[in-house]
Structure 1
Amino acid sequence: MLKTVTYINDMLTRLLEVLITLLMTGMVVFIVMQVYFRYVLAQPLSWSEELAGYLFSGVFFFGAVLLYRESRHINMSLFVDSIKNPFVRQIIVIVAHLLSFLFLAIVVWYSYPMALQIIDFEVVSPSMEWLKMGHVFMIVPVASFLSLFMLLEVILKSIAQLKEIRQ
């Protein structure tokens, strides 16, 4: 199972790296456009700053997905590293990952219906009437779901390490 999850996560990682690159590129382009239109042409764009903010949200949340895979989120490493027994240390790491998994599952459970409800309300962006806010809000459940999948790989690897320590 670990090999399958790792293979899928490898593909997701490549896809997310491309997506984040595109989002960041778009963000830079729209911000440069805003500066040019505001200060050179004296005709500021009403939508570019807002769109850049939404793109930043995508960079933030999808970047967090990649951090789960690398186990680079903020944690209590000082506490964990102070535990001398490697078996107990690994148990605590697994419990922490499981609690993160539970938290992300709750986020998906509650944020997905909320985003769908916002889509149904047909709330649109104040400066871009073509952009439904529900689609922007959908970033949270999608990124949280992808984080669950990345965290599953981390948990499976941690359990495999626990088995090695036990032997």
Structure 2
Amino acid sequence: MIRTYSKFLDKLETVEKIFLGITVAVMIIVMVYQVVLRYCFSAANSWSEELARYLFIYDVMIAAAIATRRNSHLQIDLLINLLKPKVKSIFTIIATLVGIVFLMFLLNYSLTLCQTAANNISAGLKISMSIPYACMPIGIILMILTSFEVIFQNLLQIQELGKREVNDQ
């Protein structure tokens, strides 16, 4: 079961990376366009800065999901690496569960924010503000999905370590 779930997340991560590659390229093009307009032609537009900002926010949320899957968020590795493998896995499971609880609260509030902002229109792009705000629930759902994989993998690791201890005795 975990293999099927991991394969699903592998495909999802591929889509996320393609999305990140495209949006970073678009951000660079839009920002260069804005700089050329502003400094070469003394003109400016309102949509380019706004588009770059919204794309960047989406990129941060998508990349956070990838970082969650790799368990590479900010942590004190020095202390964690001092722990025995079994204790380290248990600690990771507990920390990930706490993270999921926090993400569930955040998801609730982000959905409310999207609904509230649906009638507001952005100044530059003239789009509903629920579109930029949708990065929060999208990123949160992706982080929750990858958090479950982290938990499952650590549970399997604890199980394997338990089997090794029994075999060593």
Scaled by the length of structure 1, the TM-score of the pair is 0.92
After TM superposition, give the deviation of residue 79 of structure 1 in Å.
Answer: 2.1
**1:95 matches 2:94:** yes
Structure 1 unaligned spans of 5+: none
Partners of 2:87 and 2:67 lie apart in 1 by: 24
Partners in 1 of 2:95 and 2:76 — Cα distance?
Answer: 10
CA drift at 1:109 = 2.0
Identity of aligned residues (%): 26
Q: Partner amino acid for 1:105?
A: M
Which residue of the other structure, out of 128, 136, 139, is the alignment partner of 2:135?
A: 139
Counterpart code for 1:141: P
Deviations along 1:65-92, whole A, 9 cap, x unmatched? Answer: 1111111111132222222x43222211
- 1:31/1:49 contact within 8 Å kept: yes
- Residue number in structure 2 paired with 1:46: 46
Q: Is the 8 A contact 1:80 1:93 kept in 2?
A: no
TM-score, normalization by structure 2: 0.91
CA RMSD of aligned residues (A): 1.3
Alignment of 1:25-36 (within 5 A): 25-36=25-36
Q: Which residue number corresponds to residue 23 of structure 2?
A: 23
Aligned to 2:166: none
Q: Distance in 1 between matches of 2:115 and 2:11?
A: 27
